Amino acid sequence: MSWQVKTMAERTGDLLPGSPWTAVLYVLLTILAVTAFVTLCGLVLIYAERKVSAHFQCRLGPMRVGWHGLLQTIADTIKLLLKEDIVPRDADALLHILAPVLSFAGMLLVMIALPMSPSIQVADMNIGVLYVTAVSGLGVLGILLGGWSSNNKWSLLGAMRAGAQIISYEVSATLALLVVVLFAGTLQLSGIVQSQETGWWIWRAHGCGIVAFSIFMIAGTAEINRTPFDLAEGESELTAGFHTEYSGLRFSFFFLSEFLNMFVLAAMASTLFLGGWMPLHVGHFTVFNGIMDLLPPGLWFTLKTSAVIFLIMWFRWTFPRLRVDQLMRLEWKILLPIGFVNLFVSAACVVTGFYFFAG
Amino acid sequence: MSDESIAAPEVLPPPEKHVGTGGAVTGAVPWIDKSGAIGGVFKGIRSLFSGMKVTVGYLMRPSTVITQQYPENRETLKLPDRFRAQLAFNHDDNGYHKCTMCRICEEACPNVSIIITGREKPAVSKKEIDSFVWRLDSCTFCNTCVIVCPFGVLRFDGTFESSVYDRRLLAYTLNDYAGPVASVLEKIEDPEARKAAMEKRDPYGAHTIIEALAERQRAKKAATHAAYAAAKAARIAKKEAAKAAAEAPAAEPAAEAKDVG
């Protein structure tokens, strides 16, 4: 069974010769759909985070607004929208508003490259992995600008920490990505997904896949500033880090992009290592693969991404925060050497064809 | 027990060799991880997994949730045994208490949250309690009064819903009645006489007692001030009289001098 990938960009191209206005309408609808998806995804993720964290800590979480607090996030959003937007007197006004926008834009731009199903993908670039790595770096610019423009020492400290951390861990994350790129032989995200038709890279590349997945998860968690690595906002040390001086809508943009970054990380991890929208296939076992194909690809993507998101939440509510020196030690002395060795070993594996269902 | 059984080896391990000249610390030192670079990574991963096992255990078992859904489960709310919400009097089945008005709790209270007044005219005994006033507004819930009471009259119970619209109401009269203790009351055969010895007390009337006490203290202070002022005035008057008497003979030469001047 071969999968026909048709992206929204391609559909717009098909519409263009007929009537340009239909194409424009299609583009607008796509933009609307992405925005709606981002908002809804943020709502669901925040609710899930609160519930999961509550049960990890012997609590119940929101219980009052709606059935089991389902409408709590909506109530909180309305509250955030109605809040006063405070800008400190000595803040750099332009950069202060630019920072959350940049942070949000970085997340949104990654969103268009994610293959959620053969038919749900905005644009399928032939350099997808490179694009995602590059554009997600825009988020750190937002954080740095937010810390700098606030004119607050805690914000600046948090932002500098975030900058150092994200730039360091980007190296390991990229090394882990390269392992999959080596095995798949392509940088195109939909191509990587289709290369996993006979099995996911996490197990087909035996040891290398698992090690790369672990490194990618650790480095990714550090890149999105989540708890074992949340030095950028460490409440106990820096009040709230880079977003200390943010309130109202601007704060909610930071908050939303933080949660959506978690989604992006989980989606990337599942695309690269867990087969993305590809159902669970084992080699050429036609019957088994046929049964697995009964579930639609979009559902497979959702399930895998949710599982990875749950894993990230699990990390957050279990592990204590690292110190700055420990953070740097973990990256440069542990993850980076392991990542390089893993890359060489997987290169050898690819050259010799020593992995499951090669060729 | 013989001396051998207490001898060191089983109870205390022999002291480790310490750092000698150029020597290393022998024996395991718990805070130095000697598992090496590769071993350390695996050890770290193992420790992460054990932590994740603990937290997922809580997630999987909803019975571990300790949050009380308070207004909803008001009827079935279970509070810990040692929960200290409000001070209360222990009354027995007949409604009698054992407070002999020894005032030990009042003395022990670190911030004067207990005020005990005795009856002006005790019915049976020499001393009978009138009102045991406890001030919730100044209490620190240190439990000292409960510990020191020799008769076990006081306890802290779980009635925590103590919000009121007037802060003066945050003082309670804890005894149900003014009158003698249980043992004295039980000796009285006639139930009518028993009833006569007891006088009902309202738990919410305590602020009148506190205000009366404050008023009495103000009056006492005012009286003291008045007495002091009177004494001072008398002293000054006496002094001036003596001065006048001393100056009387000397006044005439001064007048003469003035005339001369």
Contact state of A56 with B59 under an 8 Å Cβ cutoff: yes
Q: How many CA atoms lie within 13 A of A348 on its CB side?
A: 8
Whether residue A318 and residue B58 make contact (CB cut-off 8 A), yes or no, is: no
Please tell me the predicted confidence (pLDDT) of residue B23.
47
Query: Which residue type, as a one-letter code, is found at position B92?
Result: D
Q: Which residues of chain A are within 8 Å of residue B51 when distances are taken between CB atoms? A: 318-319
Candidate from A168-172, A235-239, A281-285 with smallest mean pLDDT: A235-239
Of the candidates B41, B56, B64, the beta carbon closest to that of A58 is on: B64
Give residue A59's pLDDT: 86
Distance of residue B58 Cα from the nearest chain A Cα, in angstroms: 6
Q: Which residues of B182-221 are buried (b: 16+ CB within 10 A; e: fewer)?
A: bebbeebeeeeebeebbeebeeeebbebeeeeeeeeeeee
Assigned domain for A60 exists: no
Contacting residues for B99 by C-beta, under 8 A, at least 6 apart: B89, B129, B132, B151, B153, B175, B181
B25 touches chain A (CB under 8 A): no
Report the candidate in B239, B258, B260, B237 with the shortest Cα–Cα distance to residue B250: B258
Q: Is residue A2 part of a domain?
A: no
Residue A263 lies in a domain: yes
Q: Which backbone phi and psi does B216 adopt, to 5 degrees?
A: -65, -40
CA-based nearest residue in chain B for residue A330: B41
**B172 φ, ψ (degrees, to nearest 5):** -125, 145
- Cβ within 8 Å, pair B69-A58: no
B243 alpha-carbon distance from chain centroid:
56
A52 with B59: Cβ contact below 8 A: yes
DSSP single-letter state for residue A236: H
What residue numbers bound the domain in which A153 lies? 89-352
Please determine, for residue A347, whether its predicted confidence score (pLDDT) is greater than 60.
yes
Cα B81 from Cα B155, distance rounded (Å): 11
Nearest to A157 by CA among A143, A138, A171, A137: A143
Q: Chain A contacts of B54, Cβ < 8 Å?
A: 318
| Nearest chain A Cα distance for residue B33, angstroms | 15
| Contact yes or no for B65 and A317 at CB 8 A | no
Mean pLDDT of chain B: 81
Those residues with Cβ within 8 angstroms of residue B221's Cβ, 6 or more apart along the chain or in another chain? none
Q: Which residues of B touch A59 (CB under 8 A)?
A: 65-67
Q: Is residue A39 part of a domain?
A: no
The shortest CB-CB distance from B65 to any of A52, A60, A315 is to: A60
In a domain, residue A15? The reply is: no
Judge whether B56 is closer than 8 Å to chain A, CB to CB.
yes
At A357, is the pLDDT very low, low, confident or very high (cuts 50, 70, 90)?
Answer: confident
pLDDT at residue A162, rounded to an integer: 84
Number of domains in chain A: 1
Question: Could you tell me which residues come within 8 angstroms of residue A36 by beta carbon, excluding any fewer than 6 positions away?
Answer: none
How many CA atoms lie within 13 Å of A237's alpha carbon, on the beta-carbon side?
15
pLDDT digit string, tens, across residues B24-68? 555 555 566 666 777 877 888 888 888 888 888 888 888 888 888
Task: For CA atoms B94, B100, B105, B111, give the dihedral sign.
Answer: positive
Note whether A225 and A232 are within 8 A (CB). Answer: yes
Helix (H, G, I), strand (E, B) or coil at B52: helix
Residue A81 lies in a domain: no
Concatenated DSSP letters for A74-88?
Answer: HHHHHHHHHS-----
Q: Do B59 and A55 touch (CB under 8 A)?
A: yes
Token digits of residue B189? 């055969």
**Within a domain: A22:** no
Residue A226: the pLDDT is 83
> In this structure, what token pair is assigned to residue A290?
């046929």
Sequence-distant (6+) residues with CB within 8 A of B212 are none
Residue A159 lies in a domain: yes
**What does the pLDDT read at residue B55?**
86
| Residues listed for chain A | 359
A212 and A172 Cβ atoms separated by less than 8 Å: no
Domains and CATH numbers, chain B: 3-60 (no CATH), 86-210 (3.30.70.3270)
Distance from C-alpha of B221 to C-alpha of B229, rounded to nearest angstrom: 12
Question: What is the average pLDDT score of chain A?
Answer: 86
Which residues of chain B have a pLDDT value below 70? 1-35, 249-261
Nearest CA in chain A to B48: A319
Question: Could you tell me which chain B residue has the CA closest to the CA of A333?
Answer: B37
Distance CA A88, CA A159 (A): 17
**Interface membership of B95 toward A (CB under 8 Å):** no
What are the chain B neighbours of A315 within 8 Å (beta carbons)? 52
Collect all residues of chain A within an 8 Å Cβ-Cβ radius of residue B69: 60, 63
pLDDT of residue A326: 84
Encode pLDDT of A205-234 as tens digits: 888 888 999 999 999 998 888 878 877 776
- Strand, coil or helix: what is A92? coil
Nearest Cβ partner of B48 from A56, A319, A334?
A: A319
